[in-house]
Amino acid sequence: MGKGKTSRYLIWVYLLAALVFLTTNLISLYIFNCTPHIHDEAAYNFQAKIFIKGQLYISSPCAKEIFDFPHVVNNGRWYSQYPPGFPSLLSIGYIFKAPWIINTLFAALTIILIFFLGIELFDEKVAFLASLLASLSYWFLILSSTMLSHTTHLFFCTLFLLFYIGFIKRPGLTNSLLAGFGFLMAFLIRPYESVLFAIPPAIYLLFLMFKEPKKYLKTALPMAFMAALSLATLLAYNYGTTGNPLKMGYIERYGPEHGIGFAKTGYTGIPHTFFRGADLTAKHFYQLHLHLFGWPISSLLGILLYLFYFVKNYKIREERNLEALLLFIILSSIVGLLFYWGLSPILGARMYFQLFSVLVVLTAAGIIEFIRTSHLSRALKLNRRSIQIALLVIFTVYAYAVRLPSFARQSPDAYIVDLIYPDFLSFNKRFDETIKALNLDNAIVLLKPLYMANKYFPDDGWTAGFIHDNPDLKQGIIFGLYKPQYLEKLFGCYPNKKVYLFLYTVKKAMLEEIKFENGQISLNPVPIALDKQLPVQLISSPGDFFNPYSPEFSEFLKGFSNIPLSEFNLDLLAKLASDEESRKNYSRASMYYEAILQLEPYPEHRFEQYKRLAVCYFKSGNASLAKRINEKIYKMIYKMSESNPTNLIPERGI
């Protein structure tokens, strides 16, 4: 597969792979609790459960509106919007009751592939350093500990590139077939990014086929066949799910605005433009600059060094320089992703994660070349290996001591974890333990988050329950989203099950039994010992969700008991606050806003409530607090400082 002897480094590479496997499993276990946390992960896992049953989709359940979930189609057919590649791999994990292990395993295997890719393109030293750098990247380790599709996609993109380069150097059926298989799997996981990744290699291969047809034309057929098979498989899957081979699940779920191209809005409502794409691309590169390795100065330093030496030595390089192909792969991905409206840098530059192997190999090449050609070793009176080790230790310590904490504050969901981390990451586990402790059986538990409505995902708020639903809903406890307008329908569908409302924040919850009697829906308290220690604290009154920072505010909170629980949420409190403002009762309005801000996690909602609160403070004679908000709120929302948003007004629980 490569050139030269590899035995000297290979055992260390295997050890690095084993260490990555161990580390990612520990992160998955102790940080992510081996469960999905965000919509994408939950949707992938749901489809994996459907595949386990040997089906492409499940018929939508009775009272299907109760079971709507972001990124899951529920229009008579119930299935994930995503392509089949990653869910099919997750289904293997489900067979062994360990779906989280799929990404951790492929992360470890990627370390090995990176080594052989470095061998093909450069030499053993570059190859080993690339594997080492990849193993030390906290971005790689954290993303590979989730149940997102990026890690498996990276593996198969790397597999494709490795055997493609092997095929260019040594044309043969084996290299051609394995390169084609790598592309097939990558395409079925993330089609658009895979095509962008493969465009430069495809163009170069076509050039060689015309230039040397006897050498490449016949042997390239297996690769071409696998590429055609990947497209045929996706078209067949689309036909089997959406009913139209050209219609992706994304379009079925969210409509044509979810497609690729300028003027598309996705679910953001913001038309995508070239300038917006350029701005998001710049933000992705800023994330790479910070978190590719977490180095001081820049994580892109090694790549810049490589580019310098590549240009400097261009004329004396071999005619067939496959290193340049890596640069065109990067360029192709950058240009192609400019057209994608959803290029949001959450969990780092994850939309560029398929380039990780390429970036790591080029970084290692740049570092090795710099140390080889510079006079640094002579100036420091150290050999090259000592310099490498010293720099690596210093940079890695900095990465984990300085960069990692800043990365953790924005992960895994940039819009929520800043405010409730680590409660968000532990909520699914605490929710599971709470439900088990309540000994509910033959029941439907409808989740209702207390937070303000998510305008992008109106069916959000019940991930902790959705991840436990089997597609056929044949289980002791079924979970759904609380939608009062469909309750009567739900009771007609499941007449023998008890139905409960679980109104919650990440720390506290209220549990009420929902009954349908004589054509009327009613909520009834569930007799539970409230002093019983549960992972999610159960409370008896809506006012108990909040921090009664003063006797006056405590008295104010008691009034929440007069609000029907079915209607109680922060959006209602915002309306009541606005009503008080219109009556010029600014003191009472400010207490509503304070209650909202004690709980609401979403920055855009907090921003609006803070603006109103500042006005009410000022008009009720509390100018000092109004000034504090005006000074800090913009910095807090737009990350212009390290201001802690949970401590803006700590004396009032905000």
Digit-coded pLDDT (tens) for 398-412? 888 888 887 766 543
CB neighbour class for 276 (10 Å; exposed up to 12, middle 13-18, buried from 19)? middle
% of the chain with per-residue pLDDT over 90: 64
pLDDT in tens, 479-507: 999 999 999 999 999 999 999 999 999 88
Whether pLDDT at 364 is above 50: yes
Q: Is 158 exposed, middle or buried (0-12, 13-18, 19+ CB in 10 A)?
A: buried
Examine the pLDDT at 342 and tell me if it is beyond 70. yes
Which are the contacts of 314, defined by CB distance < 8 A and separation ≥ 6?
none
Residues 6+ apart with CB under 8 A from 40: 71, 82, 148, 149
Range in 224-228, 344-348, 386-390, 463-467 the model is least confident about: 386-390
Q: What are the tokens at 554? A: 């405590």
Please tell me the predicted confidence (pLDDT) of residue 269: 80
- Residue 248 token pair: 């992706």
pLDDT digit string, tens, across residues 11-56: 999 999 999 999 999 999 988 889 998 889 999 999 999 999 999 9
Cβ(363)–Cβ(133) below 8 Å = yes
The β-bridge partners of 499 are 444, 514
Query: Each residue of 11-22: pLDDT tens digit?
Result: 999 999 999 999
Give the pLDDT mean for 160-180.
95
pLDDT score, position 634: 64
Residue 316 has pLDDT above 50, yes or no: no
pLDDT, tens digit (0-9, with 9 covering 90-100), for 121-149: 998 999 999 999 999 999 999 999 999 99
- Chain CA centroid to CA 511, Å: 30
Q: Is the pLDDT of residue 420 over 50?
A: no
Nearest Cα neighbor of 149 from 318, 347, 1, 284 is 347
Q: How confident is the model at residue 381 (pLDDT cuts 50, 70, 90)?
A: low
Q: What is the DSSP letter of 353?
A: G
Nearest to 597 by CA among 532, 547, 533: 547
Q: Give pLDDT tens digits for 531-558.
A: 678 889 999 899 999 999 999 999 999 9
Residues contacting 510, CB < 8 A, separation 6+: 501, 502, 503, 504, 538, 539, 540, 541, 542, 565
* Residue 608: both structure tokens together: 């609006």
332, 331, 336, 330: which is closest to 355 by C-alpha? 330
> 180 and 226 in contact (C-beta within 8 Å)?
yes
**Rounded (10°) angle between helices 623-637 and 603-619:** 160
| Cβ neighbours for 353, distance < 8 A, ≥ 6 positions apart | 143, 150, 151, 153, 154
Q: Is a pLDDT exceeding 60 seen at residue 646?
A: no
- Bridging pattern class, strands 498-504 and 508-517: antiparallel
Q: Which stretch, 39-48, 310-319, 608-617, has highest mean pLDDT?
A: 39-48
Q: Are 587 and 401 in contact (CB under 8 A)?
A: no
**Apex CA 536: angle with CA 551 and CA 144, to 5°?**
125
* Residue 383, Cβ density class (10 Å: 0-12 exposed, 13-18 middle, ≥19 buried): exposed
- Mapping DSSP to helix (H, G, I), strand (E, B) and coil, where does residue 261 land? coil
Supply the pLDDT for residue 428: 85
**Torsion angle, alpha carbons of 207, 213, 217, 219, to 10:** -110
CA distance 151 to 102: 9
Residue 449 has pLDDT above 60, yes or no: yes
Residue 446 contacts residue 502 (beta carbons within 8 Å): yes
Mind giving me the DSSP string for 448-503? EESSPP-SS-TT-S-HHHHTT--TT--SSEEEEE--GGGHHHHHHH-TTSEEEEEE
Best CA proximity match to 617, nearest among 607, 608, 605, 629: 629
Token pair of 621 as six digits: 């004679």
pLDDT > 50? residue 394: yes
Q: What type of residue sits at position 38?
A: I
- Average pLDDT taken over every residue of the chain: 88
Q: Give the percent of the chain with pLDDT over 70.
A: 91
Query: How far is 357 from 631, CA to CA, in rounded Å?
Result: 43
pLDDT at residue 644 in the model: 45
Instruction: Evaluate whether 87 touches 48 at the Cβ level (below 8 Å).
Output: yes
Average pLDDT over residues 607-632: 88
Q: Write down the pLDDT at residue 642.
A: 44
Burial 347-374 (b: 16+ CB within 10 A, else e): bbbbbbbbbbbbbbbbbbbbbbbbbeee
Tokens of 40: 């994408």
- Write the single-letter amino acid at 158: T
Q: 141: which residues sit within 8 A by CB, 6+ positions away?
A: 20, 23, 24, 27, 107
Range picked from 336-345, 363-372, 517-526, 567-576 for highest mean pLDDT: 567-576
Q: What is the pLDDT of residues 234-270, one digit of tens each?
A: 999 999 999 999 999 999 999 998 889 999 988 878 8
Quote the tokens at residue 65. Answer: 């509106």
Mean per-residue pLDDT for 210-229? Answer: 93
CA angle 229, 235, 236 (to 5 degrees): 85
β-strands 520-525, 508-517: how paired? antiparallel
CA 314 – CA 316 distance, rounded (Å) = 6
Q: What is the distance between the alpha carbons of residues 366 and 591, in angstroms, rounded to a whole number?
A: 58
Alpha carbons 249 and 72: distance in angstroms, whole number: 9
> Which residue has tokens 């038309």?
271
Distance CA 175, CA 223 (A): 9
13's tokens: 């590479």
pLDDT grade for 391, boundaries at 50, 70 and 90: confident
Within 10 A of 492 (CB to CB), how many other CB atoms are there?
11
**Between residues 315 and 449, the one the model is more confident about:** 449
**Tell me, what's the pLDDT at 424?**
65
Q: Is the pLDDT of residue 636 over 70?
A: no
Per-residue pLDDT band for 371 (boundaries 50, 70, 90) equals confident
